[in-house]
Structure 1
Amino acid sequence: MTDPQDVEALDLDAYLARTGQSAAPPSAASLAALHEAHVRTIPFENVDPASGRTPQLDLGSITDKLVRKQRGGYCFEHGLLFAAVLERLGYEVSRRAARVQPHRGGPRTHMNLVVTVDGVEHLADVGFGAGVLRPMPLEDGAVVDQAGWKHRLVRDGRAWTLQKETAEGWEPLHAFDDQPQRLIDYEVFNHYTATHPNSPFTGKLVVMRLDHGISRKLIGDTLIVERPDGSQEIAPVADRGDALRYLDVVLTDEELAALEERLLQQA
């Protein structure tokens, strides 16, 4: 990258305390532990875009929001934070960009990472909502159980597609290639994702949590709980603040009021 992240701006001790991890030397096992702890601890949420605000991508702002304030964020915030953590711990990290649901032909609006450990490349994807709990070896046909749901990587030339096994077969989730991205690229992606009317994150609230055997999502005013056996619990949300707290998103009264006002305007 020609515009590298200022990884020294990261409060590594605060991050490790938030996720309950320690500063272990780089290894596949340590990467998996860090990845899982991040996903299980820090929520995926779009409160800022849904409130009419564009998330700030400097590492100081991300650390303050996702670590100190115990908020969550969406993929660019998660990805940039996790990349900085890994580099501070001695990992080799390449920042990438993906097209979500690539068969629909949309723009690149997702950030993921390729992390090299002991000469082996792994997909690290802590910011893909309720999707990927653990890193995946970057190998054609590699299948990894993600909290009870099987995921697979398929290669086509320079392109990789992440797929999820469903009752109908393998569903493409996102596709990326071997082109490293710069910070300015993420600023462009972030601007589109946080402001464009066609973005899925500007018109409704989206919060996702993933843990072993359970996926919890708040989509608009609907709470959805899914399990690997295909069972679902779907319920309308009576109190948005309670629903956010249930999904570990901690907002101030001012933040919740701004969110409520914006969503009411767009209703």
Structure 2
Amino acid sequence: MTDPWDVESLDLDAYLARTGQQAAPPSAEALTALHEAHVRTIPFENVDPALGRTPRLDLESITAKLVRRQRGGYCFEHSLLFAAVLEHLGYEVSRRAARVQPHRNGPRTHMNLVVTVDGDELLADVGFGAGVLRPMRLADGAVVDQAGWNHRLTRDGRLWTLEKQTAEGWEPLHAFDDQPQRLIDYEVYNHYTATHPDSPFTGRLVVMRLDEGISRKLIGDTLVVERPDGSQETTPVDDRAEALRSLDVVLTDDELTGL
């Protein structure tokens, strides 16, 4: 297959309009701008799995939802879309799979990207729960400020681990190797993530937004606002539709009723 990811079907102009970006030649600076704009604009959310629906992973369905509607999605949707955008713009992209919470025997259910720019490999992770704002160069021990929270990459042989600095030390978030994936691999991971009773994305609503110095999460009917200094505000939500709109997720009446 000459285009197994159906990249040519992407409406690049619509994506750039959605994120407020302009097409630019590949560079580390341009990649960072695109990455930040994507995370700031398109929410991380699991409305479809919470409604008992498995998200479609074809690019047309992803574009209709994440680009043409005021909606978001989770890692497979975000990263498949972002990979297509990058390849359209001339970047070299490798689609990867990561094991979430590897220190706790978590599942291999996260999609991330490794992007090559000017000979350097960088982790692009627009779909990790809105936790990674900008790309990170693949360098053992590299620390990057992600909107006020330090993140670090460490290497053990072929395995890279993304860690977040907490009051207790460095917490492993996910681990990935250099094995490229195929679309059918993500279809399998997606089925588990959207349907398995042990998945964190079935049975409850999860919406996450990240911007400089602030992380906002709607978990069920509770809004949690966190800041890099460790402070946290937790607020019960009475009007779910309004709470979703405040996080840039606009649903139809049927979707709200289903939730």
Residues of 1 paired with 2:55 and 2:111: CA distance? 14
1:1-267 equivalences in 2 (<5 Å): 4-259=4-259
Moved over 2 A (4+): 1-4
Q: Is the 8 A contact 1:153 1:161 kept in 2?
A: yes
The answer on whether the counterparts of 1:216 and 1:223 sit within 8 Å (CA) in structure 2 is yes
* Structure 1 unmatched ranges of 5 or more: 260-267
Q: Which amino acid aligns with 2:33?
A: A
> Which amino acid is 1:57 matched to?
L
Q: CA deviation at 1:130?
A: 2.8
The answer on whether the counterparts of 1:130 and 1:216 sit within 8 Å (CA) in structure 2 is no
Shift of 1:2: 8.6
- Native 8 Å contact 1:2 1:182 kept in 2: no
Native 8 Å contact 2:46 2:73 kept in 1? yes
State the distance in 2 between where 1:14 and 1:166 align. Answer: 38
Deviation at 1:3, TM superposition (A): 7.2
Shift, 1:106, TM fit: 2.4
C-alpha distance in 2, partners of 1:59/1:70? 17
Q: Would the aligned equivalents of 2:62 and 2:77 in 1 still touch at CA under 8 Å?
A: yes
Provide the rounded CA distance (Å) in 2 between the counterparts of 1:190 and 1:226. 28
Q: State the 1:4 CA deviation.
A: 2.2
Residue 265 of structure 1 is matched in structure 2 by none
Secondary structure at the residue paired with 1:108?
coil
Aligned-partner residue type, residue 189 of structure 1: Y
Give the Cα–Cα distance (whole angstroms) in 2 for the partners of residues 227 and 37 of structure 1: 20
CA RMSD of aligned residues (A): 1.1
Report the Cα distance in structure 1 between the residues aligned to 2:221 and 2:2, rounded to whole angstroms.
Answer: 42
Question: 1: distance between equivalents of 2:258 and 2:136?
Answer: 38
Query: 8 Å contact 2:164–2:173 — kept in the other structure?
Result: yes
SS of the residue 1:55 aligns to:
coil
Partner AA of 1:78 in structure 2: H
Where 2:36 maps in the other structure, the secondary structure is: helix
Identity percentage of aligned residues = 86
User: SS in structure 2 opposite 1:251?
Assistant: coil
Q: CA 1:176/1:3 → structure 2, altered by over 3 Å: closer, same or farther? A: farther
**Normalising by the residue count of structure 2, what TM-score does the alignment of the two structures yield?**
0.98
Structure 2, gaps ≥5 residues long:
none
CA distance in 1, matches of 2:147, 2:30: 18
Q: Is the 8 A contact 1:40 1:209 kept in 2?
A: yes
3-state SS, counterpart of residue 5 of structure 2: coil
Contact 2:43 2:130 in 1 (8 A): no
Whole-Å separation in 1 of the counterparts to 2:15 and 2:30: 15
* In structure 2, distance between residues paired with 1:30 and 1:234: 36
In the alignment, the residues of structure 2 paired with residue 196 and residue 234 of structure 1 have an alpha-carbon distance, to the nearest angstrom, of 28
Aligned amino acid, residue 127 of structure 1: G
